[in-house]
Amino acid sequence: MYQLFDYAAVALALLGCVIGLRSDRATGKIPNKLTGAMLLLSLILAALRTSAGDSSFLVLYLQNFALGFLIGIVFWHIRAWSGGDAKMFWALCSLLPSYPEAFKGIFSMPAPWYAETFFGLSILFNLLILLLIRFFLAAVYLFLKQGKTKQLIRTISSPLMYLLASTLLGIGIARITGIPILAYLSIAFVFALSIAEKSSYPYFLALWAVFAAAGALTAGVYDIPSLISLVTHTRPLYIFAFLMSAYAVGSQIPYTRKKAIKDLRAGMALGEQIYLEGGSVAREEVSTSLWNTTINWLLGRKKHDYLVRPRPIGLTEEDLGNLRKHSDKLGGYVDVNTSFILMPFILMALIVSFYGDFLWMMLS
């Protein structure tokens, strides 16, 4: 009986994403009327399902309604999503609080525990991994086009190689001392060293070789089958390392472009911070790192008396007035973020989530 509600919710979610995608491509916006209608329909479906006898569904719906809103507003505040993208995610969480029961007989889904109570988390994980793949491939193309093959290989291989060495060393230290916690501490230490290490490539290889040899000797891993067995049993660590490699490569893509101040419009996303210092106008690059953006947002860091700085709502009329006033001192241009349409990936993440959860499949 409740399967009818599942089918209706899935149909509305897919239809809403398709309409949102077409609108985003045509106008650069996802209409509030669309996401508002999806939220309203989700409430109606929840009320009908509860009245039909599924008394626990209302609590589940309210929980996902709130969590979807909170996640959406956090990603909007750190400028990772536009307002329309955040509201679309909120609507999807509300329409599909849990993995649809009707689909369990169709797809052999390796269901994570959270899919039963917060299906939006599966959509979010799939979305982030799809975006990571997209930026990774775009960055690989850029590296190869610019002839930076060695830098590409190093960026991809560094976390994987250091993780192998640190795992061997960690197992060896724990084996010798009999203190298991030292394995995790050594893995964390050597892996952190691989991230912080910025020296020449020969030095990087030499340092890795020392750690790998010490790890192999202390862990008692001397042959290829033993090494393969070790990697197989620590697969989640290597998946994590590869995702870090992909993120490191993807972060190399330039996310800003120069735009003449006279051509700026309200709502555009500024890609730099402009502030007054000693009576003159200065500019500062904004970090594209999601981690740095999040930390700065949480701590509310403000180092200067900012004239204009990036905000979730984009440039306001007041910002445009300030920029035009100081246009000559800024050389007549500013950096703005390159536009990126997220809706195709939200739709793909939703469809993929009916089959399974990328993160869970990789780790299980």
For 248-278, how does the pLDDT look when each residue is reduced to its tens digit (9 = 90+)? 777 777 778 888 988 888 878 888 888 877 7
Task: Give the per-residue pLDDT at 141.
Answer: 86
Provide, for the chain, the percentages of residues in helix, strand and coil under a 3-state DSSP scheme, each rounded to the nearest 5: 65, 5, 25
In a shared domain, residues 263 and 241? no
CA–CA distance, 213 with 327 (Å, rounded to integer): 58
Q: Give the domain-ending residue among 196, 224, 250.
A: 250
Question: Are 205 and 160 contained in the same domain?
Answer: yes
Task: Summarize the confidence of residues 188-199 as an average pLDDT.
Answer: 58
Number of domains, the chain: 3
The CB density around residue 255, as the number of other CB atoms within 10 Å, is: 15
Tell me if residue 74 falls in helix, strand or coil: helix
pLDDT at 35 > cutoff 80: yes
- The whole-number average pLDDT for the span 305-333 is 83
Q: What is the C-alpha to C-alpha distance for residues 170 and 336, in angstroms, rounded to an integer? A: 45
Q: Which of 44-48, 54-58, 92-96, 103-107 has the lowest mean pLDDT?
A: 103-107
User: How far is CA 90 from each of CA 27, 72, 97, 307, rounded to the nearest angstrom?
Assistant: 21, 6, 11, 33
Residues 17 and 55 in one domain: yes
pLDDT of residue 227: 60
Percent of the chain at pLDDT above 90?
Answer: 26
* Best mean pLDDT range from 129-143, 161-175, 192-206, 249-263: 129-143
* Residues 79-114 pLDDT 10s: 888 889 999 999 999 999 998 887 776 665 556 778
Mean pLDDT of 140-148: 86
- Position 230 in a domain: yes
CA separation for the pair 53, 84 (Å, rounded) = 34
- Chain mean pLDDT for the chain: 80
Mean pLDDT of 117-133: 91
Is 126 within a domain? no
| Residue 153 one-letter amino acid | I
Tell me the residue range of the domain where 328 lies.
257-337
Same domain, 170 and 222: yes
The H or E element that residue 308 is part of is strand 305-308
Say which range, 44-53, 311-320, 339-348, has the weakest mean pLDDT: 311-320
Residues 143 and 234 in one domain: yes
Asked if residue 363 is part of any domain, the answer here is no
Place of tokens 């010490």: 214
Residue 262 lies in a domain: yes
Q: What pLDDT sits at residue 292?
A: 54
Q: Are residues 262 and 331 in the same domain?
A: yes
- Decide which of 250, 267, 288 is a domain's last residue: 250
* Domain-embedded: residue 312: yes
Q: Confirm whether 129 is domain-assigned.
A: no
Question: Are residues 205 and 273 both part of a single domain?
Answer: no
Question: For residues 214 and 220, what is the distance between their CA atoms, to the nearest angstrom?
Answer: 10
The rounded percent of the chain whose pLDDT value lies above 70 is 78
Same domain for 32 and 98: yes
> Last residue of some domain: 200, 225, 250?
250
User: 303 in a domain, yes or no?
Assistant: yes
Examine the domain organization and report whether 165 and 99 are in the same domain: no
Do 41 and 88 share a domain, yes or no?
Answer: yes
Judge if 241 and 261 occupy the same domain. Answer: no
Instruction: Evaluate whether residue 359 is within a structural domain.
Output: no
Per the structure block, which two tokens stand in for 59?
A: 């609590």
Report pLDDT for 191.
Answer: 58
Q: Do both 66 and 141 map to the same domain?
A: no
Q: Among 24-28, 100-104, 161-165, 291-295, whose mean pLDDT is lowest?
A: 291-295
